[in-house]
Amino acid sequence: MRPNALFPPDLRDLCLEIGFGGGEHLARQAELHPETGFLGCDLFTNGIASLVRHIDERRLENVRIADVEATLLLAALPDACIGRVFLLFPDPWPKRRHHKRRFVQPAALDALARVLADDAEFRFATDHSPYARWTLALVLAHEAFAWPAETADDWRRRPPDWPETRYEAAAVAGGDRPVYFAFRRLPRGTE
91, 110, 118, 119: the catalytic one is 91
The SS3 of residue 7 is coil
Question: What are the residues whose beta carbons fall under 8 Å from the beta carbon of 152, sequence distance 6 or more?
Answer: none
Q: Are 76 and 115 in contact (CB under 8 A)?
A: no
Q: Are strands 116-126 and 13-18 parallel, antiparallel or unpaired?
A: unpaired
- How does DSSP classify residue 46? H
Question: Rounded to an integer, what distance in angstroms lies between the CA atom of residue 168 and that of residue 49?
Answer: 20
Torsion-angle region of 38 (φ positive above 0: left; ψ -120 to 50: alpha; else: beta): beta
State yes or no: is 118 an active-site residue: no
Q: Which sequence positions are flagged as catalytic?
A: 91
